Amino acid sequence: MTLGDISQAQPSALNKLLFGDQDHWFLPEILLRTLVMYIVVLIGLRLMGKRGVRQLSVFELVVIIGLGSAAGDPMFYQEVGLLSAVAVFVAVITFYRFTTYLTAKSKKVEQLIEGKTVCLIEDGKFCIDSFKKEDLAQDEFFSELRLKGVSQLGQVDRAYLELSGELSVFYFADEAVKPGLSILPHEFDKQVTTIVETDVYACTRCGNTQKIAGSAAVCAVCEGKKWVKAVAHKRVP
């Protein structure tokens, strides 16, 4: 091999290292692809709801996914150049910083991207409209409450679904606990539509309690027709 051949081979090897199988004109397309995928991932995670992004914020997940993909591909694929990965890193971080700037400046933008804290229980009853919007599974929600020592809704003054996906619960004092819907499986499963014994019952759909004097009854709050006998258990910390 002559010196001329070596000098021609070195730029070719350098281009292969930096650009892979693509030329430098491909970099603007990478920036566009990164922006598109950033928006797609952000929208996808937002549509998943708060339960899907538990513990981490939407922004953190977008950055982790974007940077993870950018770092992984050039490690395993020879045709992916290093500059392409660097361009993705720069683009993702830039978009992230711009998004955080917008959310800091505008409350509307913040709520559009991150959503807002939602009240799920108020005064011992479900907020039905909030449940519909968040598309929560009742069994999963009951499990969360039980893990916090709640056995019936009459123990709960307020419960909020936070932006992180965590559940914040504020309790009534023991002397203020009222009869409510039991969330213990062995009691909740004893649902009836026809009341035989006059007593205070809780609607299984919204948690509203009312005294029912026999026969079938319709909930005055949500028009539910399934009931369980209300219980007045105190909370166990």
Q: Structure pTM?
A: 0.66
Q: Which domain holds residue 74?
A: 3-114
User: How far, in Å, CA of 132 to CA of 175, rounded?
Assistant: 32
**pLDDT (tens digit per residue) in 68-88:** 777 667 655 656 666 777 777
Domain limit, last residue, from 76, 92, 114? 114
Closest CA to 144 of 172, 125, 166: 166
Q: Residue 237: what pLDDT?
A: 65
Does 30 fall in a domain? Answer: yes
Q: Are residues 127 and 110 part of one domain?
A: no
The answer on 96 and 173 residing in a single domain is no
Do 64 and 167 sit in the same domain of this protein?
A: no
* The token pair that represents 226 in the structure block: 């399934």
Flag whether 196 is in a domain. Answer: yes
Q: Does the pLDDT at position 180 exceed 90?
A: yes
- Total number of domains in the chain: 2
SS3 180: strand
Task: Let me know whether 49 and 133 are in one domain.
Answer: no
Same domain, 37 and 53: yes
In a domain, 57, yes or no: yes
Neighbouring residues of 39: CB distance < 8 A, sequence distance ≥ 6: none
The domain boundary residue, chosen from 83, 114, 145: 114
CA-angle at 103, arms to 91 and 109, nearest 5°: 105
Q: Which of 54, 84, 114 is the last residue of a domain?
A: 114
Q: What would the pLDDT profile of 142-163 be if each residue is shown by its tens digit?
A: 999 999 999 999 999 999 988 7
57-67 pLDDT, tens per residue? 666 777 777 77
Question: Is residue 236 included in any domain, yes or no?
Answer: no
Per DSSP bridges, beta strands 156-161 and 118-122 are antiparallel
